[in-house]
């Protein structure tokens, strides 16, 4: 089947890891399994228009960001196309116009690579489905996640909703290193509509990229123990998602966040991505939690921003705490309210 022109549009969310992916092998194969909450409000919306072309020897695309041509994003997309071309042999047959925007503020320090690569992968799968209409829905989503992984590892967890596992884990037989899968068991209602308020501590470009950070896990003195710990923590979360024990959830999640940053501090070269206000926020959360018994906790990704996680039934009290005590530590008082959400959707 062939098709000369057309367009697709997808939205894909960001995600926040609870057990962190940190360290990888060739072809974006993770050194350990990870699990994340899919977010609902922080999204990338990408429209891809395609037109059959004469010269089929090279990739050809234009890139628009928020409606304007954006040259500096092009090398990333070019690299992505090169990596996925063997799996999407039709890519060189078309000229693409990729028109993309984020729902979260530009340069907020929120990584758009996960949502961005996932949204792009969904669009290319829509074109593949147009050419091979008989593919199953499972194949469509699995391959989309597989392609997103090749763009940015954590992006493979942005295709599906709610709780997504990526990486081989003995006790989750459907899990695989190749793509993200939805957590295959029922999740306790305590985690329903779980909240994530993202405190923007530092919106600057980080000094050490994730790519460099992953690489520093090769020959890292604590790597083997860390990878084993990730398996243990994921096993614990499997029970926690079933029994709804938020106290235990908090222990695993905060330990994972601090371990991620401990890996950065103990690599060679060593580095620190947290800022003084990151620590101020962590201490304030611990104090608030011990004084009020309200089950609020934090996690971090590879940066200074803090994700504040809490159940929906304490939302009002936690937002009040954030507004009165934590906003002072945010750059320009900025924070983003998000919660667990449903994964990529066709628009």
Which stretches of the chain bind ligand PMV, using CB under 6 A?
A: 17, 20-22, 34, 113, 152-154, 210, 214, 260, 301-302
Q: Which is nearer to ligand PMV, 33 or 94 (CB)?
A: 33
Q: Where are the alpha helices (DSSP H) in 188-309?
A: 210-215, 223-243, 246-265, 276-292
Q: Copy the structure tokens of residue 212.
A: 């460099």
d(CA 137, CA 129): 10
**Smallest distance, ligand PMV to C-beta of residue 302, A:** 4
Q: Which is nearer to ligand PMV, 99 or 301 (CB)?
A: 301
Q: Which is nearer to ligand PMV, 210 or 277 (CB)?
A: 210
Counting Cα atoms < 13 Å in the Cβ hemisphere of 310 gives 23
Q: Which is nearer to ligand PMV, 113 or 115 (CB)?
A: 113
Parallel, antiparallel, or unpaired for β 195-199 and 335-339? antiparallel
**Smallest distance, ligand PMV to C-beta of residue 167, A:** 10
Report the 10 Å Cβ neighbour count for 145. 28
Tracing tokens 């309210």 back to the chain, one arrives at 337
**Smallest distance, ligand PMV to C-beta of residue 222, A:** 16
d(CA 265, CA 275): 13
**Smallest distance, ligand PMV to C-beta of residue 25, A:** 13
Report the 10 Å Cβ neighbour count for 282. 18
Q: DSSP label at 323?
A: I
Closest CA to 37 of 163, 155, 160: 163
Q: Copy the structure tokens of residue 340.
A: 């667990």
Q: Which is nearer to ligand PMV, 127 or 237 (CB)?
A: 237
**Smallest distance, ligand PMV to C-beta of residue 347, A:** 24
**Smallest distance, ligand PMV to C-beta of residue 18, A:** 9
Q: Which is nearer to ligand PMV, 127 or 282 (CB)?
A: 282
**Smallest distance, ligand PMV to C-beta of residue 230, A:** 10
Closest CA to 341 of 179, 193, 149, 138: 193
Q: Which is nearer to ligand PMV, 24 or 143 (CB)?
A: 24
């Amino acid at each position: 089947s062939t098709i000369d022109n057309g367009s697709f549009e997808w939205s894909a969310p960001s995600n926040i890891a609870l057990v962190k992916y940190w360290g990888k092998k060739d072809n974006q194969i993770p050194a350990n399994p990870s699990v994340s909450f899919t977010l609902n409000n922080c999204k990338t919306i990408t429209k891809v228009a395609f037109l059959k072309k004469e010269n089929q020897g090279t990739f050809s695309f234009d890139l628009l960001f928020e409606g304007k041509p954006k040259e500096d994003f092009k090398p990333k997309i070019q690299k992505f196309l090169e990596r996925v071309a063997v799996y999407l042999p039709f890519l060189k047959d078309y000229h693409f116009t990729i028109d993309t925007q984020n729902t979260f503020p530009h340069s907020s320090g929120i990584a758009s690579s996960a949502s961005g690569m996932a949204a792009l992968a969904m669009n290319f799968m829509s074109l593949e489905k147009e050419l091979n209409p008989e593919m199953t829905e499972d194949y469509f989503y699995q391959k989309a996640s597989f392609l997103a992984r090749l763009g940015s590892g954590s992006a493979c967890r942005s295709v599906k909703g709610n709780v997504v596992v990526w990486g081989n884990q003995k006790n989750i037989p459907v899990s695989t290193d190749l793509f993200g899968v939805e957590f295959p068991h029922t999740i306790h209602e305590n985690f329903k509509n779980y909240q994530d308020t993202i405190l923007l501590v530092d919106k600057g470009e980080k000094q050490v990229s994730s790519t460099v950070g992953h690489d520093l896990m090769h020959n890292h003195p604590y790597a083997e123990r860390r990878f084993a710990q990730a398996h243990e923590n994921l096993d614990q979360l499997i029970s926690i998602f079933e029994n709804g024990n938020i106290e235990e959830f908090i222990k695993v999640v905060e330990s994972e966040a601090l371990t991620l940053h401990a890996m950065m501090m103990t690599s060679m070269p060593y580095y620190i991505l947290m800022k003084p206000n990151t620590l101020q926020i962590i201490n304030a959360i611990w104090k608030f939690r011990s004084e009020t018994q309200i089950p609020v906790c934090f996690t971090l990704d590879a940066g200074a921003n803090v994700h504040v996680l809490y159940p929906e039934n304490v939302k009002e009290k936690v937002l009040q705490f954030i507004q009165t005590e934590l906003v002072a530590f945010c750059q320009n008082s900025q924070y983003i309210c998000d919660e667990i959400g449903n994964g990529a959707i066709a628009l």
